[in-house]
Every structure is written in C-alpha cells, then in structure tokens.
Amino acid sequence: MKAKPGSILGALAFALAFAGGITNAHAEETVVVASTAEDTPTPTGPNPRLLTSGIWTLGLSYVPALVVAIESDHPGDKYLFTPVAGPWLNLAHRGDCADRGSCDNETLNKVLLVTDGVFQGIGALQILGAFLLTDDPQTTVATQKREKQPDSASVTFRPARFGTGAYGVAATGNF
C-alpha cells in the first residue's frame, strides 16, 4: 500500500510539533502614550485669535457707523448707535429720498449700510465663536517602543484543536 503525499506531510508536521515543543507568542510592540498635560482636563478660555479678529472686525466696522450717527441730521441715522442691528434698522427706516429733496447718494448710502451691517455681523459672530470654539492646548502623542528583535528567526509547531472534533497543527514564529 502506497502512502499519499498529504498524509506524509501531515505526519511530518505532527512529529515536528512534538519535537519543537510548545512556546507562547509574545507581543513585539509596546505602545506608550505620553501626554503633554495632566490627565485631568483643564478649562480653557476663549479662542484668542478668533476673539481678537472679531473685536477688530466689529470695531473697524462700527466706528464709521458711530461717526455717521453723531454727525448726520437724518433721523434714520440715529439707529447707527446700536451695533450690529443699527445698519439694518437704519436701512428699514430710510424713508423716501424725495422727502429730503436729494436722491443723488441714496443708492451708495444703502450699499454702505448693507456692507457695514454684514461686517458688524461677522465681527459679532467671531466674538461669539471665540467662546464656543475654545483652544484645546492638550495633545496626546503616541510613541512606539520596540523590544529587541531576536537574532534569528524561529518557527514552532504544536498540535491544535480547531472547532469541535477537528485537529491540526498550529505554527508560531519569531522573526
């Protein structure tokens, strides 16, 4: 009776498993997490860049509106004392330019009111966003520390059970 090549290989693997012994596999990587801050979260203040940008944007767009509110004799321009909402209130209460006698600059005035209202609104949103989108200075850096690699590679075979009633050979190795 002639032996099949598959059974010879199976018997050889089984013999090597017993001859090689049983060893446990070890992890070759250890992950170390280093934190630049304490483990407890520290409260942070508003986002300084966003806050500064918002103050400048709101301030630079509110000052011209304030100058117009002080200098103008138009009753609708008194709404410009109110930041952010003032340009929109002024635009809504401009009235008919024919009542004042001259409509030469009315289109330009409305365009400037809209532009001023938009920039004041952007500045106000930046200031609000600075308190909602705070800076988080805590960062966690993950570094890897490797153990010393073995000088040579080795493979170990051992008998193993797969599922119910199925047996075979498991190979483990160090490279």
* pLDDT for the residue numbered 154: 80
Residue ranges of domains in the chain: 48-132
* pLDDT for the residue numbered 85: 95
* pLDDT for the residue numbered 94: 83
Instruction: Report phi then psi at 140, rounded to 5.
Output: -115, 125
Task: Look at the alpha carbons of 120, 122, 124, 130 in this order and tell me if their dihedral is positive or negative.
Answer: negative
* pLDDT for the residue numbered 28: 56
Q: Which residues contact 57 (CB under 8 A, 6 or more apart)?
A: 119, 122, 123, 126
What distance in Å separates the CA atoms of residue 121 and residue 28, rounded to the nearest whole number?
57
* pLDDT for the residue numbered 128: 95
Do the bridges between strand 140-146 and strand 29-35 make them parallel or antiparallel, or are there none, so unpaired?
antiparallel
* pLDDT for the residue numbered 84: 94
The structure's pTM equals 0.52
What distance in Å separates the CA atoms of residue 42 and residue 39, rounded to the nearest whole number?
9
pLDDT per residue rounded down to tens, the chain (175 residues): 555 555 565 665 555 555 555 455 455 555 555 555 555 556 578 889 999 999 999 999 999 999 999 998 888 899 999 999 999 999 998 877 766 667 788 889 899 999 999 999 999 999 999 999 886 655 555 566 666 655 677 888 888 887 777 788 888 887 7
